[in-house]
Amino acid sequence: MMATAEFTAPENAADVLTVDSLHAWYGESHVLHGMSFSLHPGEVVALLGRNGSGRTTTLRAVMGLTDRTEGEIRIGGRNATRLPPHLIARMGVGYCPEERAIFASLSCEENLLLPPRQTDGGMPLDEIYALLPNLAERRHTPGTRLSGGEQQMLAIARILRTGARLLLLDEISEGLAPVIVDRLFDLVVELKSRGYTILLVEQNKYFAAPLADRFLVVERGTIVMRLTADELEAQADLVDRTLGV
């Protein structure tokens, strides 16, 4: 992979994402209970927690995909609370759900070309293929014949084409072979070096630990621990008990 200079955020840059006292519901089910956090430019923040803790709902709420929200969501300093998903996408936000949502009847390249560019600066195909050579080799392969790891790479590549600079990535390492997990790890490292801001949902602490600048441990829809990388290591036993490891 081509070496890239480490991204440095400009001084006094506005937070890319600010979430303040966020509550969210699915129907009558109250899932998030006052979540508050922010992401700085070029930062990777990991949401750690057990299944059902509210991590995915946090991503969906930011993307405008929950039934009801209260609190405030700001993207690049602009109020995005209760905006529909297509307007949030136009603000430079890309969401990669755990289920990947690959169109099985389309080829790899057709899947890549399908989403419209939402902002300037979308990654061109040749750059995506240089970053993810597996996709270049499989560009004419139908979605049904891609491996799970290739589908995951494709799902991330699709949002890079849209021009998104804030990436919401949900369990991208889940259920994949170690060699594919390593490639996805390298991809996140590369995207971070290019200045992308990433909110990463992970249950796999060992995947997230070397990647993230900060860690938010979520339990029952609230943040119960806020940790730096050093603090995550120092409190490993407590974090493992919270995660059920």
Helices (H), 34-177: 55-62, 85-90, 108-113, 125-131, 133-137, 148-161
Quickly state the pLDDT bin for 8 (edges 50, 70, 90).
Answer: low
Cβ proximity of 4 and 194 under 8 Å: yes
Asked whether residue 5 is assigned to any structural domain, the reply reads no
Residue 171 has pLDDT above 70, yes or no: yes
Average pLDDT, the chain: 91
Residue 4 belongs to a domain:
no
DSSP string, 198-229: EEEEES-HHHHTTT-SEEEEEETTEEEEEEEH
* pLDDT (tens digit per residue) in 25-72: 999 999 999 999 999 999 999 999 999 999 999 999 999 999 999 999
pLDDT 10s digits, 93-144: 999 998 878 888 899 999 999 887 777 778 999 999 999 999 999 999 998 8
Residue 231: inside a domain, yes or no?
A: yes
pTM of the predicted protein model: 0.91
Flag whether 54 is in a domain. yes
Whole-angstrom Cα distance, residue 241 to residue 245? 6
* Any domain includes 9: no
Backbone angles phi, psi at 51, to 5 degrees: -60, 135
Distance of alpha carbon 33 from alpha carbon 58, whole angstroms: 10
Which of 204, 191, 177 has the alpha carbon at shortest distance from 47? Answer: 204
Whether residue 115 lies inside any domain: the answer is yes
β-bridge pairing 222-228 and 214-219? antiparallel
- Tokens for 39, please give them: 């992401």
Q: How many domains does the chain have?
A: 1
Confidence (pLDDT) at 30: 97
**In CATH, what number is assigned to the domain containing residue 61?**
3.40.50.300
Residue 157: inside a domain, yes or no?
yes
Structural domain harbouring 173: 17-243
